[in-house]
Amino acid sequence: MDIKFVEPRPELRPYIESLWICDCPNGLPSTDRSIVAPNGCAKLVIPIENDIVSEADGRTQVSRASGLYLVGNRDSPTSLRSTADRTRFITIEFTPQGALPIFGVPMSDTTNGLWDADAVFAQWGRAVRQDLADIGETGQKIALIQDRLTAMLRANGRRNAIVDWCVDALRSAHGRIAVRELEFQTGYSRRHLSSLFGTYIGLPPSVLAGIFRFQKYYRAWAGGRPLDSLLPDLYEDYYDQAHFIKSFKRMTGCTPGRFSREVANEFGRRISSPRRDL
């Protein structure tokens, strides 16, 4: 499995968390349980070779080669698999509030879903999908999609300073800010903040906070620390160990103990511990 990270263009960097290419010569490993845990990012996925089968919330969907798909912000894990044929795809992960200024689509309409770009973005989705299919070289595909995202950003470009501030505050504190504190700091009610977050992110502030809190530990695991070694730090972020176990199971589908024993998830480790290769 080869995963290479690409630096987004300067004008897109405030809106894109990461951009990477996954190349699996023998498909996604069937024994590895390739799990994508929630990270607060909506995604644009471009399968190049082979179909990708995803399972989330009891639903199985197939992303076809040469397609273009939007994955809405999720609060539960997704498992990926493919046949043993070569599997290559491009993924663009947007910052939590970065997709709406580009696409202009309320993120609440896409939450916890995998969507064909034709259905979500109509003519734009069809045109981009067709143009990508006409290009063979991966670098040229990335250049084209960045061109089209930049054009969409210039046409839409709708940001919200309150959402930006709240997301930055939650991220920097690893989710350890109560919604009432966001209310106090911004002067807006819980209801208004939830409405803004629904539009721009697709998840309530409390759910995004929980994802950031979980990601602190998940990224430490991805960086090579055994989960057992993280237990002494839990009480900074969780009421007790049971609270952490419940959150971890919600985000990965497994308890920490079972995850450590049975889940290699090299795919999840690699995409959660990015290196700038290109």
Q: What is the residue-wise DSSP string for 81-97?
A: E--SS-EEEEEEEEPTT
pLDDT computed for residue 149 by the predictor: 97
* Topology adopted by domain 161-272: Arc Repressor Mutant, subunit A (1.10.10)
95 neighbors 17 (Cβ within 8 angstroms): yes
pLDDT digits (tens, 9 = 90+) for 253-269: 999 888 888 888 888 88
Percent of the chain with pLDDT over 90: 77
Kind of pairing, strands 78-81 and 16-24?
unpaired
pLDDT digits (tens, 9 = 90+) for 152-199: 999 998 899 999 999 999 999 999 999 999 999 999 999 999 999 999
Q: Which of 23-27, 116-120, 214-218, 232-236 has the lowest mean pLDDT?
A: 232-236
Backbone angles phi, psi at 14, to 5 degrees: -65, -15
pLDDT digits (tens, 9 = 90+) for 99-124: 999 999 999 999 999 999 999 998 99
Q: Above 70 in pLDDT, residue 275?
A: no
Looking at beta carbons, which pairs linking 206-209 to residues 24 or more positions away fall under 8 Å?
206/179, 207/75, 208/40, 208/96, 208/167, 208/170, 208/175, 209/170, 209/175, 209/176, 209/177, 209/179
Whole-model pTM: value is 0.93
Quick one: CA dihedral 187, 189, 195, 201, positive or negative?
A: positive
Q: Above 90 in pLDDT, residue 226?
A: no
pLDDT computed for residue 13 by the predictor: 97
Q: Report domain extents, the chain.
A: 2-155, 161-272
Backbone angles phi, psi at 58, to 5 degrees: 80, 10
Q: 2-155 belongs to which CATH class? A: mainly beta
pLDDT digits (tens, 9 = 90+) for 192-223: 999 999 999 999 999 999 999 999 989 988 88
Q: Which of 10-19, 208-217, 221-230, 241-250 has the lowest mean pLDDT?
A: 221-230
Amino acid present at 103: F
Q: What is the CA radius of gyration of the chain?
A: 18
Angle (deg, nearest 10), helices 161-172 and 190-200: 90
